Amino acid sequence: MKIQPAKSIRGEIKVPPDKSITHRMIFFAAMAKDRCEIENPLMADDTLRTLDLVKNVGSDVEYNKGKLSIRMEKISEPISPIFCGNSGTTARLGLGFLSRLPLFSVIYGDESLSSRPMDRVVEPLSLLGSIFDGRNEASNLPISVRGGIVKHANYRSKVASAQVKSAFIIAATAGDGVSTYTEPITSRDHTERFLNAFGITIKKGNLIEIKPSIIPSFKSRVVGDFSSAAFFVTLGVCHRNAILDIKDVGLNETRTGFLNVLKRMGAKIEIRNVKNDFEPYGDLHVESSNLEGTEVLDEEIPSVIDEIPLIALLGVFAKGRTVVRGASELRKKESDRIKAIVSVLSKMGVHIEEFEDGFEVEGSKLEGAKIDPYGDHRIAMMAAIAGLCGNGVELTDPKVVSISYPSFFEDLEKVER
């Protein structure tokens, strides 16, 4: 796909529903005591893998007019391995979900997912009583699970990971007593925010208490995905002639560290019309901006982890240098994202230095280039935004955006002038 520079950016956009929240709502609904309804779920490659997982163990799933209806009819042991595709959230939260159930199951993924670490989830879940086996001592998929939680545990995580935390919490709700989970830095809190509404979790700083509980039947609406909105925010502030409104975006503070980085860089951005359900949400108004380089601190990384490719692109349009450190977790995503960011921007004429845990980028002009996005949806979308704001780009694998944002290119066309 060839993307030409845009003369101007104008209009209003509504981004897809939040991927992280959709995954969690599907699992919560399959855990609940009766049928649940999820309005405005994201129906993309990754979340369809999660739907397939819960269906494989006995959940009845119906989708009609933008609403998902889910009920665990009868727990049943799957007769074949469950495919997680490229979805790390399906695999990791899925291991927590399967740990609850008194059955044997096997999950596997594509080549990329099969190289990503699963031991960080297997370790805490093993403390709760589940038995795992798999490649490299259950560090990599495929992995088998013998579930049926009978224990409680206190676990202190070495990594600030919402996936690890959520897997443990999901499993621990089926334990025989109160469990606790402590993380070094607060990561995105969609799981405990939802369960706290039912008194299932209690947060005390970075420690979370989890009570054995059954989730009641619920109805919930999924807000717009902040990580998807971030691409249009970046387009708005980096393009030399842009005024853009992004509607109904999730504004959970554990997800919006990117806004703090933007404001520090001098971006013209306003938050408008804030409302609250299980999650806060509102509108974002952005305009072309004169940016200054910045340094992203270690403690900010969990709240900007999905937006780091965009921070690199912001650095290209900023005066001075932009530095990201403490982000070694990026090497374990759909691609080695640090390597991918450096490779893509280097091909576009940017001076960028790679570190083991991040990069340093200098403000410069973008050149046109042919880009391989390394099978990574966020790298593909970053490159597309770079092409619109710079001198164009040719993407060799544009379809990869369907993992999280199937209508991405159609939405870009709506705001190009």
In order, the DSSP letters of 284-339 are EEEE---EE--EE-GGGHHHHGGGHHHHHHHHHHEESEEEE-S-GGGGGSSS-HHH
Name the token pair of 256: 């919006």
The pLDDT of residue 278 is: 86
**The dihedral sign for the CA sequence 230, 235, 237, 242:** negative
Q: Across the beta sheet with 295-296, what order do the strands follow?
A: 295-296, 321-324, 358-362, 352-355
Q: How many CB atoms lie within 10 A of CB 114?
A: 16
Q: What is the Cα–Cα distance from 359 to 286, expressed in whole angstroms?
A: 26
List CB contacts of 48: < 8 A, sequence separation 6 or more. none
Give me the phi and psi of 38, to 5 degrees please.
Answer: -115, 115
Walk along the chain (417 residues) and give the pLDDT tens digit of each residue.
Answer: 999 999 999 999 999 999 999 999 999 999 999 999 999 999 999 999 999 999 999 999 999 999 999 999 999 999 999 999 999 999 999 999 999 999 999 999 999 999 999 999 999 999 999 999 999 999 999 999 999 988 999 999 999 999 999 999 999 999 999 999 999 999 999 999 999 999 999 999 999 999 999 999 999 999 999 999 999 999 999 999 999 999 999 999 999 999 999 999 999 999 999 999 889 999 999 999 999 999 998 899 999 999 999 999 999 999 999 999 999 999 989 899 999 999 999 999 999 999 999 999 999 999 999 999 999 999 999 999 999 999 999 999 999 999 999 999 999 999 998
Question: What does the DSSP assignment read for 71-95?
Answer: EE------SSPEE-TT-HHHHHHHH
**Within 10 A of 273 (CB to CB), how many other CB atoms are there?**
11
- Kindly give, in sequence order, each residue whose CB lies less than 8 Å from that of residue 191, ignoring residues fewer than 6 positions away: 24, 162, 165, 166, 169, 170, 201
246 touches 229 (CB < 8 A): yes
Domains, in order of start, for the chain: 2-16+224-415 (3.65.10.10), 19-151+162-177 (3.65.10.10)
State how far the Cα of 231 lies from the Cα of 300, in Å rounded to an integer. 19
Q: How many CB atoms lie within 10 A of CB 79?
A: 6
DSSP 174: T
Q: What is the pLDDT of residue 334?
A: 87
Q: Which pair of tokens denotes residue 125?
A: 């879940």
Task: Say how far apart CA 224 and CA 73 lie, in whole Å.
Answer: 30
Q: Residue 68's beta-bridge partner residues?
A: 38, 63
Contact 328, 368 (CB under 8 A): no
Active-site residue set: 306
